[in-house]
């Protein structure tokens, strides 16, 4: 999937792809970490092919978007930028699909500005106190400077290990797929950006603070999870489904954290099924 446009919103550049569509339905796809919009490449064509409007973009500090040294790239700041991007593109009341920290961005927008979101899908999302892992907490607290100083080959080996954990079937994170996820981090700027724009902002306070607001959501909501997600256990999906009124939970066997790699067709179908629900 090719991001073919750039927008300046709030004085920063975001790379995006937007197909307006003809059905009156617009989907906004928000990726997570360590990822970029490439993760939606096997989902977007079917959605566009059915005439739906689709917006996919790289979060600030990720992929092809700007990597500024002086900007907040927390999930709270990313939610503000998403609101600005929707305004810039004149997209009204889309269905928002968020994965991983993109799901935190989606939760923030849906609870802070519910009138902006027509429907909500959370895919293997961070939530509550589910993130960061105890390993990353220790790294952020005690060893982040050491990790910033890693040699390129050490960094790539570490990131490869992390990415291999995201799929239920290891064959789904090899070859050109693995290369695409590693590519944005192969320059000195890319390696620094991974820690400064992603790892440094692994912080569950925003999702813990918004947790009581989930009970106030009224838009149709679907929670889609990989049964074998090693980063976000299914118990968090069950808690979200319990807290969000009338949320529908789908747990997919043979799916890991990067569910769009293990089962892109199933994720696509769940999105299309959600579009049939309105209230």
Q: How far apart are CA 114 and CA 109, in angstroms?
A: 7
The answer to whether 174 and 268 are in contact (CB under 8 A) is no
Q: Give pLDDT tens digits for 84-93.
A: 999 999 999 9
Q: What's the number of domains the chain is made of?
A: 1
Q: For all residues of the chain together, what is the average pLDDT?
A: 95
The CATH number of the domain holding residue 178 is: 3.40.50.1820
Structural domain boundaries enclosing 216 = 5-275
Q: How far apart are CA 191 and CA 149, in angstroms?
A: 10
Residue 150: its pLDDT value, please?
84
Q: Give pLDDT tens digits for 30-82.
A: 999 999 999 999 999 999 999 999 999 999 999 999 999 889 999 999 999 99
Buried b (16+ CB within 10 A) or exposed e, 110-127: bbeeeebbbbbbbbbbbb
Largest pairwise CA distance in the chain: 53
Q: How far apart are CA 172 and CA 34, in angstroms?
A: 15
**CA 219 remoteness from chain centre:** 19
Residue 1: its pLDDT value, please?
65
Using 50 as the pLDDT threshold, list the residues of the chain that sit under it: none
Q: Give pLDDT tens digits for 171-180.
A: 999 999 999 9
DSSP assignment string, 152-200? HHHHHHHHHHHHHTT-SSGGGGSHHHHHHHHGGGSSHHHHHHIIIIIGG
pTM above 0.85, yes or no: yes
Torsion of CA 264, 266, 271, 274, to 10 degrees: -170
């Amino acid at each position: 999937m090719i991001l073919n446009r750039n927008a300046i919103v709030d004085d920063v550049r975001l790379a995006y792809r937007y197909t307006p569509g003809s059905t009156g339905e617009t989907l906004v796809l928000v990726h997570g970490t360590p990822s970029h919009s490439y993760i939606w490449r096997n989902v977007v064509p079917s959605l566009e092919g059915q005439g739906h409007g689709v917006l996919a973009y790289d979060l600030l500090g990720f992929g092809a978007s700007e990597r500024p040294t002086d900007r907040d790239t927390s999930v709270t700041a990313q939610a503000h930028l998403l609101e600005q991007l929707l305004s810039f593109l004149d997209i009204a009341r889309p269905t928002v699909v968020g994965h991983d920290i993109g799901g935190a961005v989606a939760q923030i927008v849906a609870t802070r500005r519910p009138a902006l979101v027509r429907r909500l899908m959370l895919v293997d999302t961070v939530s509550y106190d589910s993130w960061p892992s105890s390993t990353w907490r220790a790294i952020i607290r005690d060893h982040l400077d050491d990790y910033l100083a890693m040699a390129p080959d050490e960094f790539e080996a570490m990131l490869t290990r992390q990415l291999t954990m995201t799929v239920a079937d290891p064959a789904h994170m090899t070859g050109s797929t693995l290369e695409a996820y590693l590519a944005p981090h192969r320059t000195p700027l890319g390696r620094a950006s991974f820690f400064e724009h992603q790892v440094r902002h692994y912080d569950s306070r925003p999702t813990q603070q918004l947790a009581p607001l989930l009970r106030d959501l009224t838009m149709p909501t679907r929670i889609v999870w990989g049964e074998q997600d090693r980063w976000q256990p299914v118990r968090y999906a069950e808690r979200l489904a319990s807290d969000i009124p009338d949320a529908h939970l789908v747990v997919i066997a043979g799916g890991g954290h990067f569910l769009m790699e293990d089962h892109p067709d199933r994720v696509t179908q769940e999105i299309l099924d959600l579009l049939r629900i309105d209230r």
